[in-house]
Amino acid sequence: MEHLKLSPIIAEEQIKKRIKEIAKDITKSSSGKTLVAVGVLKGSFLFYADLIREIGLDMICDFCGASSYGDDSKSSGEVHLTLDLQTSITGKDVLLIEDIVDTGLTMNFLKKHLATKNPASVTTASFLFKPSALKEECSIDHVGFEIENDFVVGYGLDYQGHFRQLPYVARVENMN
Distance CA 24, CA 158 (A): 28
Q: Which residues are paired to 93 by β-bridges?
A: 35, 121
Residue in 107, 147, 150, 144 with CA at minimum distance from that of residue 130: 147
The answer to whether residue 72 is catalytic is no
* DSSP string covering 21-43: HHHHHHHHHTTT--EEEEEEETT
Distance CA 20, CA 116 (A): 31
Q: How far is CA 107 from the centre of its chain?
A: 9
Q: Pick the catalytic residue from 50, 58, 102, 150.
A: 102
Residues assigned a catalytic role? 102
